């Protein structure tokens, strides 16, 4: 796991920008004659920037433990809320637009009612896929809860207890499925913090948990809990604030912290701020090898259409562009699925647990 640097951010952003230009040129200059050197140049620059980004990520400084400090009686009053991963959001939007761009490229300067209907169908599918992905990955409820904790800290009082950060845990939860006889499996990630012998699970997105485990393993700090906890349903927002000043925000089970919500109200200092855990470089071989491979194959499949234009038979152009779109989407989805899981699991040593819903045990 390596730190994000200015170089990795600039190169990664440049690669995404070049891909966006290439996709946009399909529409902006849809009647331009072949060869489409403008699109080829944008794709070539994207490949160079992506290669440079991967190299910069691989050579960036490693993420190590956070600097330690002695305990302070003054608790930071300003907590950093999680930031949305803008690069991943932009990458998904570009991926969602790829099939429609391939349709426009295969269509050429001409068109017709049928081709227009195909394009309209692709737009509808793209919008629905985007809305579904947004719903599945929405941070809205989590952020609303964390905002309550941050506001309580800023206003001067939170419940807080001294704890020590422990190991990251990945739990495989088996529950009753939607279909008869089926079992649904989900995964939960958290870092264990301990107050004496008592364990508290601080759940967060798996990448945040992995970074927190690297930075905080074995360190002491404060576990923040909201003053207005009675106004929050289900999981409570919580934050581990290390003595060195860095913080990991997540959710916890109210039953695990109920004992602290009656007697451990503490004052925070508005003059002190907690910091986010440093961001990490996004390149991961299991994720991006598949993604880059799918993108490269897509470019090679579309190359005859980009070079020859209308000289390519219509059926062949549609076939090549459909394969190109399928290759790009399949490669990215494979990387974002199993590849992302393997990458995060390899970053730290996880304690793995299996749990089963008592109703099916």
Per residue in 31-73, pLDDT (tens digit) is 888 899 999 999 999 999 999 999 999 999 999 999 988 888 7
Cα Rg, the chain, nearest whole Å: 24
CA-to-CA separations, 309 to 31, 33, 98, 303, 312, in angstroms, rounded: 10, 7, 18, 10, 6
- Per DSSP, 195 falls in state E
Average pLDDT over residues 103-118: 63
pTM comes to 0.84
Average pLDDT over residues 290-315: 92
Is pLDDT of 130 > 70?
no
Average pLDDT over residues 336-353: 78
Q: How confident is the model at residue 111 (pLDDT cuts 50, 70, 90)?
A: low
Average pLDDT over residues 137-154: 86
Is pLDDT of 216 > 60?
yes
CA-to-CA separations, 286 to 85, 268, 346, in angstroms, rounded: 19, 43, 10
pLDDT of residue 83: 84
pLDDT of residue 33: 86
> Which one is predicted more confidently, 294 or 122?
294
- What's the longest Cα–Cα distance across the chain? 79
pLDDT of residue 45: 97
Average pLDDT over residues 226-250: 94
Q: How confident is the model at residue 232 (pLDDT cuts 50, 70, 90)?
A: very high
> Which one is predicted more confidently, 185 or 35?
35
> Which one is predicted more confidently, 137 or 268?
268
Q: Which helix (H) or strand (E) holds 36?
A: none
Which of the listed ranges 70-74, 210-214, 331-335 does the model predict with the highest average pLDDT? 210-214
Is pLDDT of 113 > 60?
no
Q: Are the C-beta atoms of residues 81 and 140 closer than 8 Å to each other?
A: no
Is pLDDT of 112 > 60?
no
pLDDT of residue 117: 53
Average pLDDT over residues 83-95: 85
| % pLDDT > 70, the chain | 91
Is pLDDT of 167 > 80?
yes
| % pLDDT > 90, the chain | 54
Average pLDDT over residues 104-108: 82
Average pLDDT over residues 96-121: 68
pLDDT of residue 118: 54
CA-to-CA separations, 311 to 31, 112, 305, 320, in angstroms, rounded: 14, 19, 8, 14
Q: How confident is the model at residue 158 (pLDDT cuts 50, 70, 90)?
A: very high
Average pLDDT over residues 111-123: 53
Q: How confident is the model at residue 318 (pLDDT cuts 50, 70, 90)?
A: confident
Average pLDDT over residues 152-171: 94
pLDDT of residue 335: 81
């Amino acid at each position: 796991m390596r730190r994000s640097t200015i170089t990795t951010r600039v190169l990664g952003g440049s690669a995404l920008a070049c891909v966006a230009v290439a996709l946009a040129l399909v529409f902006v200059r849809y009647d331009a004659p072949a060869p489409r050197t403008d699109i080829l140049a944008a794709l070539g620059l994207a490949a160079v920037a992506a290669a440079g980004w991967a190299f910069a990520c691989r050579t960036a400084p490693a993420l190590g433990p956070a600097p330690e400090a002695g305990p302070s009686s003054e608790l930071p009053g300003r907590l950093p809320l999680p930031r949305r991963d803008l690069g991943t959001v932009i990458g998904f939007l570009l991926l969602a637009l790829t099939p429609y761009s391939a349709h426009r490229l295969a269509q050429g300067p001409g068109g017709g009612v049928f081709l227009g209907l195909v394009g309209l169908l692709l737009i509808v599918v793209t919008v629905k896929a985007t809305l579904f992905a947004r719903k599945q990955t929405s941070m809205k409820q989590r952020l609303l809860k964390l905002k309550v904790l941050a506001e309580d800290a800023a206003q001067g009082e939170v419940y807080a207890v001294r704890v020590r950060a422990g190991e990251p845990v990945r739990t495989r939860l088996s529950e009753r499925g939607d279909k008869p006889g089926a079992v649904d499996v989900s995964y939960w990630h958290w870092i264990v913090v301990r107050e004496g012998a008592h364990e508290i699970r601080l759940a967060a997105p798996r990448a945040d948990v992995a970074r927190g485990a690297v930075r905080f393993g074995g360190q002491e700090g404060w576990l923040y809990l909201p003053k207005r906890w009675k106004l929050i349903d289900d999981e409570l927002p919580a934050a581990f604030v290390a003595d060195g000043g860095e913080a990991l925000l997540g959710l916890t089970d109210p039953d695990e912290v109920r004992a602290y919500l009656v007697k451990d109200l503490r004052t925070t200092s508005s003059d002190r701020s907690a910091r986010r855990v440093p961001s990490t470089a996004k390149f991961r071989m299991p994720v991006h090898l598949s993604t880059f491979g799918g993108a490269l194959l897509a470019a090679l499949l579309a190359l005859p259409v980009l070079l020859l234009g209308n000289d390519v038979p219509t059926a062949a152009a549609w076939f090549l562009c459909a394969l190109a779109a399928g290759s790009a989407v399949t490669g990215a989805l494979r990387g974002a699925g199993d590849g992302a899981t393997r990458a995060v699991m390899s970053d730290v040593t996880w304690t793995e647990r299996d749990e089963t819903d008592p109703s099916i045990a």
